[in-house]
Amino acid sequence: MRIKLNKILFLSIISIVLTFTSCTTKSEHIAITINSHEKIVIDSSKIYKEPFRPQFHFSPEKKWMNDPNGMVYYKGVYHLFYQYYPEDIVWGPMHWGHASSKDLINWEHKKIALFPDKLGLIFSGSAVVDIKNTSGLGTLENPPMVAVFTYHNMDGEKSGRKDFQTQGLAYSLDEGDTWQKYNGNPIIKNSAQKDFRDPKVFWNPETNLWNLVLVAGNHAQFFTSENLINWEFQSDFGQNTGAHGGVWECPDLFKLQVADSQEEKWVLLISINPGSPNGGSGTQYFIGEFDGENFKTNQKDIKWIDNGADNYAGVTYNNTPDNKRIFIGWMSNWIYARDTPTKTWRSAMTLPRELSLVKINNDYVLKSTAVNQLKSQLKQEYSHKNITLKPNKKVELNYPNFNQSEIDFTTEDKDLKLIFSNEAKDSLTIEYNAKQKTFSIDRRHSGIVNFEESFGKQIHKTAVPNIVSNTINYQIIMDWSSIEIFLDGGIYSFTEQIFPNKPYTILTMLSNENQEVKAFSLSYIKGIWNKS
């Protein structure tokens, strides 16, 4: 049975349609047509309307971008710095690009913050606001914003030296608009350690000192300072702990309170490339204790902050309101980052996510959920309290553009398959297997996949043992070239790039047993660049 409804009559009679169809035995499927209340316009002649351009994720106005850097909140503004090459859409001599936002959703492009100099390229790092002016680089009335980053000396690397990466400092006295390099750079020299980089700095109120964590090849190192300039090495961590399929990168360290308890734990993020479960780049995390000098953990298994293929080098904001722990990752993978089918720009960031810590079956789990500010961009197109799925029947929803939408619903803990497709015969399949406790994403036929041999080669399957409730919530957020899935309230998250030839217009829902899809909601997500 195929039912086409105009948008005026749709909401008033949809419940009748669903009730009727679920009772019939002759119908092979039901089809619901949802007419968008927004005009879908794709104009490739305008900036931010190019093919695959994210409409509500941050991406550079033009050219190449990778890791997020220097994420700090100050005076009502979230600052996002990032690895940037302004001359090409492939990786080149690294600068720090800069953008700012008042709500983590709508972004304003700023001028380049940091340029390479005689000490090297500007690799990843972090930023803080030196409120007490411990550095002496500002005043108590006008405290400096301080960036600590890695210098990468290309000539030193080419000559075969191992000390070609050092740590530098820059500061701003106008809230991040302009920057001055510190005259005494580098502030942390290198004793011949290859891959000595990516410093994350934060103020530790428990010790009244600055802490810095960076990575040195296959492990992390911890430092302390009274003034952000003179640093003292304290300890190493990780040579024989965690995943070691590739070099360690982009560390972060912070404390979280465990939900529904007074217990607090420290969380250490470490990105690794290669060595992730889906190949290439991924970010692992460790739960443990930190006394200001040493990080320790009893964790035996390897935990990943995201189980998709495209969330890497993510770190969290310093100085956020209400001490919320806000995370942003680079939405790509080094296997194919240079090859994705975009023309004037390359790469985007994940949606900002709030991190929290829960305990499931006596195990600590890091949850991630899209920040609440995203709700301001949603315009609900369709909702229904209850959709019945039956074996060998399918529910088909038709909508002009699933690639700019949020879908939210709750099901029983039973098998479920969702297929997004279009008239170009592209299809993206996500599937939950209740008996095996696995969740998979199949983008092998999702659109353009042949730009790199591994991109569309395999199904990405993840074990999900922490799904322990009788019901599961699905939040699915799709942009023009990405899908982000938050399963069971963010117990698991999955981020993947996709490049459909045309927007997905059909969602097919299937189950091999009777089950109810409850509180189904489909919302259009307003664009942030051209008010689309």
Catalytic residues: 67
Residue 14's H or E segment, with its range, is helix 7-23
Distance CA 181, CA 172 (A): 9
Which amino acid does the sequence have at 478?
M
Residues β-bridged to residue 484? 477, 495
Q: Measuring CA to CA, which residue among 36, 63, 33, 35 is closest to residue 47?
A: 63
- Give the max Cα distance, the chain: 79
Extract the tokens encoding 67.
């890791």
Residue 120 DSSP one-character state: B
Q: Which class for 311: exposed (0-12), middle (13-18), buried (19 or more C-beta within 10 A)?
A: buried
At residue 73, the 3 state secondary structure works out as strand
Q: How many Cβ atoms are within 10 Å of 489's Cβ, its own excluded?
A: 15
SS3 15: helix
Cα gap 318→70, rounded to integer Å: 9
Which run of H or of E encompasses 123? strand 121-129
Asked whether the beta carbons of 224 and 134 are under 8 A apart, the reply is no
CA–CA gap between residue 411 and residue 467 (Å, rounded): 12
Instruction: Determine contact, residues 162/155, Cβ cutoff 8 Å.
Output: no
Please identify which residue in the block is written with the tokens 């304290």.
234
* Residue 130 φ then ψ, to 5°: -85, 75
83: number of Cβ within 10 Å:
23
d(CA 37, CA 405): 12
3-state secondary structure of 322: helix
C-beta separation of 160 from 167 below 8 A: no
Q: What is the 3-state secondary structure (H, E, C) of 140-171?
A: CCCCCEEEEEEEECHHHHHCCCCCCEEEEEEE
Distances (CA, A) of 247 to 162, 194, 235, 273, 306: 15, 10, 19, 6, 18
Which residues in 269-295 are b (16+ Cβ under 10 Å) and which e? bbbbbebbbbbbbbbbbbbbebeeeeb
Q: φ, ψ for residue 12 (rounded to 5)? A: -75, -25
Query: Could you tell me which of 389, 378, 365 has the C-alpha nearest to residue 464?
Result: 365
